[in-house]
Structure 1
């Protein structure tokens, strides 16, 4: 994570929007929510997101082409690996870091002489609440 710096107005608004959201948001969804605050173009959102990504305050979920506010901005500052569990039904996202998984991946990378830039794991499935709501028959039955 980069050293702390003050956020611009647009960065602060984008971060607030993501923090208040219960699900990941695309850049266009963020733009729609911030139109009353003077956002008119996707570029405004993308610039703010780029800066927030660099500081580690926001994560991009590649599988969803969406963004979430970092749930633990200070807890995984020194860890290279961040993982996300994403419920396919309700869209809720859990963020976590696991030093054992990170160690295993680092050992693999070292053995293969593979230099990583970033490591993000995305796990999709169903959360307990959605499984319970579907009843004992389970999904697709």
Structure 2
């Protein structure tokens, strides 16, 4: 019998079901890369979130279904009601976003998310749509 990983043993290639914002959004989270945080001492996980339903007026369907790269911390993984699905190959689509993030991070202009996946998705949707984070 194969044992599912425990939340303190996150590794590259793990695919997890995670909490969405509503019933129509049942995202998955794939860990593509893990970096040591140079200042915080923890990990930064570079993940791909898929099976999303983020409003995006710039797309023909009106919705974005995949976020190729998101930098998250242990807190995000701990707060997102993860359920292990399978071991997969990292998604190469994350690399472009990672490169942009890495450059900005090294210059002190980028960080990582430590919030649950529903909160992260809400932040992304609000930024795409120009809705302030403090509005309901």
Using structure 1 for the length normalisation, give the TM-score: 0.29
More strand by share: 2
Using structure 2 for the length normalisation, give the TM-score: 0.30
More helix by share: 1
Q: Which has the higher contact order (CA 8 A, sep 6+)?
A: 2
